[in-house]
Amino acid sequence: MSTLVLVLITGAGLGALYFLVASGLSLIYGLMHVLNFAHGAFLTLGAFIGWEVARRLDTATWSTFFVSILVGGAVGAAFAALTELALIRPLYERHIEQVLVTVGLAFAAVALYQGIWGSDPIYIDSPPWMLQTTDVLGALVPNTYWVLMLAATALLASLVIFLRFTRYGTIIRAGVENRWMVTALGIDVRRAFTVVFAIGGSAAGVGGVLAGHYTGYVSAYLGSSLLIFAFIITVIGGLGSLTGAAIASVLVAVLQQFANYYLGGTGDIIVVVLLAVVLLARPAGLLGRAS
């Protein structure tokens, strides 16, 4: 029983981390039809800069942790907005070229991070509470998972409020449905593109800092290792669907944890099998629109 509880809770926590990455990917694809391969680079930069700030303060306090989260989010947002303005915008409506430029940026960013911080993992400190466990029905759950779940819940709630109650949110929802009609109402939809990139980058940056605390280290490959799962989740959830991404994040991570524990570490294979099954049975994903 306690093992089952542990697998379920850690699955939900890992799903929360996936959602921090997948939510941005899904929003960006939904509005702009760009598969953003550079999303992992936003995450990794957030993680590195968050760690740089933390180690210059006091590495093991909550205040330092929150500052590093804020800095990671801000850095991710700035990097993403800059990417949209400098690389994506000049290639407006050229989707293949836009995807290729994000692939190029992803490779270049990893090389740059290696040049600056090296190839080896850099182990980081967390607030002591995060390194402890909490007893839930006999299962000792590492506290990091609660932080991940709290962060993802806060992100989902913020995104829902933003999308539903702000003008930019309305523009984004309308743009996901019919982008050219938004421009035909006199709205510069490209501003919404930058906003969406910044939001996605911010979530990824926060995700980067949290991923560092989850794995215990930061490295130049942190983003790329999470990005592949985030892509799978985005496809399973339905490209462009935020709710789909949230459901798929938890589904994929819980299944992955179960397979890792009960099926001899086959979690990654199971995820790919799930992707294949969803694509065969429901090509638009769980909550995606049929094209």
Partner 1 sequence: MSNEPVLTVEALHASIAGQQVVEDVSFSVPPTGITALLGRNGVGKTSTLRAILGLISRTGAITLAGERIDGMRTHRIVQRGLGYVPEDREVFSKLTVAENLTLAVRQKSPRYELVDSLFPDLVARRSQAAGTLSGGQQQMVSLARALLNDNTILLVDEPTKGLAPKLVADVTVALEEASHLVPILLVEQNLEVVKKLAGGAIVLSGGRVVHTGVATEILADEALTHRLLGVGSATGGAAI
Site residues for partner 1 per CB under 8 A = 167, 170-171, 173-174, 177-178, 180-189
Strand partners, 123: 217
Q: For partner 1, give the closer residue by CB, 143 or 243.
A: 243
Name the burial class of residue 226, with classes exposed (0-12), middle (13-18) and buried (19+) by CB atoms within 10 angstroms of its CB.
buried
Q: Which of 5, 17, 7, 1 minimizes the C-alpha distance to 261?
A: 7
Nearer to partner 1, 96 or 280 (CB): 96
Query: Measured from the CB atom, is 55 or 173 closer to partner 1?
Result: 173
Place of tokens 């911010």: 202
| For the chain, the helix, strand and coil percentages under 3-state DSSP, each to the nearest 5 | 75, 5, 20
Span between the terminal Cα atoms of the chain, in Å: 43
d(CA 78, CA 86): 12
Cβ neighbour number for residue 108 with a 10 Å cutoff: 12
Is the CB of 30 or the CB of 142 nearer to partner 1? 30
Least separation in angstroms between residue 193's CB and partner 1 is 13
| Rounded CA separation 87/97 (Å) | 10
The minimum distance between CB 165 and partner 1, in angstroms, equals 11
Q: Which is nearer to partner 1, 38 or 88 (CB)?
A: 88
**Residue 135 CB coordination number (10 Å):** 9
Task: Write down the residue that tokens 């836009």 correspond to.
Answer: 98
Is the CB of 186 or the CB of 264 nearer to partner 1?
186
